[in-house]
Amino acid sequence: MAHEFTRAALHALVWSEPMQTLAKRFSLSDRGLAKICAAADIPVPARGYWAKLQAGHKVKPCPLPPRGLGRLDHVSIGRGKWPYERESEADILNAAIPPPPVFTPDMETVRVQVGTLVRRAPLPLRDSHGWHSQIAKLLSADEERLRKQQASRWPLSWDRPVFSTPFEQRRLRILNALFICLTRCGMKGHASGKHGRELAVTVGDVSVPFTLDSVSAAKLIERERQGYAFMARGEKDKMRLSMSSLWAPEPGARSWEDAKGDRLERHLREIVVEMIVSAEQRVRDGAAGRREWLIQRKAELQEEQRKREIEEERRRRALQAKLEQARIDHLLGQARALHQAAQIRAYVATVRELNASAADSMTPEALEEWASWALAQADRIDPVLSGAFKTRPAEPAE
């Protein structure tokens, strides 16, 4: 079963009873619950806390630290971090609409705080500082490609090194500086793909994608997406960093690029600040968006439920009318059968009375044989004698 808490609610819960006892309610081990709390930056009681409390020692719960930048304010146990992707319709219908989310401090203060954090972090643009692990991984793969090319009798252009040109070396230095600065600020940079074009930074629980490439690389990227070999960018190509995904470019996304007398490197701290601030903004927008989504989805489900109830009532009434009509038809059929039985008996009595004067009369034996058969048929269809008047018609199909 899925459970969702605010950080404050889960913090209060884990300090209200031992972790082993609490974890069983969620079908978890105490270690599993502790990991969930650690991921949400929620402190849990240390070993021996409850024993000291029972012994009368003065022990205090660790206070809940403020929500980190880019961190979600809710914790899900038994479902993903984004609950609206997995919530059942029953959950949504039964859930109360939460109040509008309130975040502190305001975004202007956040921007100032992030700016201070970023100014204190290193932003090295020289190779001598050392490579970030993500950049080192790209360079290691490039060195392996170079060794294979040098050892091959028929080197393929497809497998040639990627990061040996001046443009790519500059690009890696910029990425290296960004990732080292972000790491010092507590964030994680990611560069994947053979050509190191799939870029993102993780801020708390939010991934912020970005691209760093030539200003005129759009056609080259499209060719590479179609399966063509990577084409080196020119040494004099202008470089652009855009806060947008490589595979799903966002029109109007914030971007920086080389200009005359103003190279991209001069804006790297501003870019780092924007990446971190945008992640925090996404969390806040996501919380507001989730509430709006919940309001809209709940209204949709309530309307669907109302329509189902109306349709169910219509079907119930139609079935009831069908049943009443079937009962009436059954009753009329029994009345007709009773009338037919009476007609047969009257007919038999008349034949008996008139048989002696008939031109071709029946013998008494033949008459009685026929009369017995005819009266038996009257008794068979008579609903009173047969007890058929007690029966009810079958329930009509929907």
Residue 64: the pLDDT is 95
Residue 224: the pLDDT is 79
Please give the Cα distance from 202 to 382 (Å, whole number). 87
Please give the Cα distance from 249 to 277 (Å, whole number). 20
* Residue 127 and residue 172 in contact, taking contact as beta carbons nearer than 8 Å: no
Residue 79: the pLDDT is 61
Residue 144: the pLDDT is 92
pLDDT more than 90, % of the chain: 67
Q: Is the pTM for the entire model greater than 0.85?
A: no
Residues 343-357 have pLDDT tens digits of 999 999 999 999 888
Average pLDDT over residues 94-104: 88
Mean pLDDT, the chain, rounded, equals 90
Domain residue limits, the chain: 3-94, 107-283
- Smallest CA-to-CA distance from 98 within 301, 298, 280, 278 is with 298
Average pLDDT over residues 169-178: 96
User: Does the pLDDT at position 147 exceed 60?
Assistant: yes
pLDDT category of residue 340 using cuts at 50, 70 and 90 = very high
Residues 181-195 have pLDDT tens digits of 999 999 999 999 989
User: Does the pLDDT at position 11 exceed 90?
Assistant: yes
User: Does the pLDDT at position 86 exceed 60?
Assistant: no
Residue 245: the pLDDT is 84
Q: Return the H-helix or E-strand segment holding 49.
A: helix 49-54
Encoded tokens for 192? 């994947």
Residue 118: the pLDDT is 97
User: Does the pLDDT at position 372 exceed 70?
Assistant: yes
Task: Work out the angle between the directed axes of helices 268-354 and 107-119 (0-180°, nearest 10).
Answer: 130
Lowest mean pLDDT, pick from 16-20, 41-45, 86-90, 117-121: 86-90
Residue 396: the pLDDT is 73
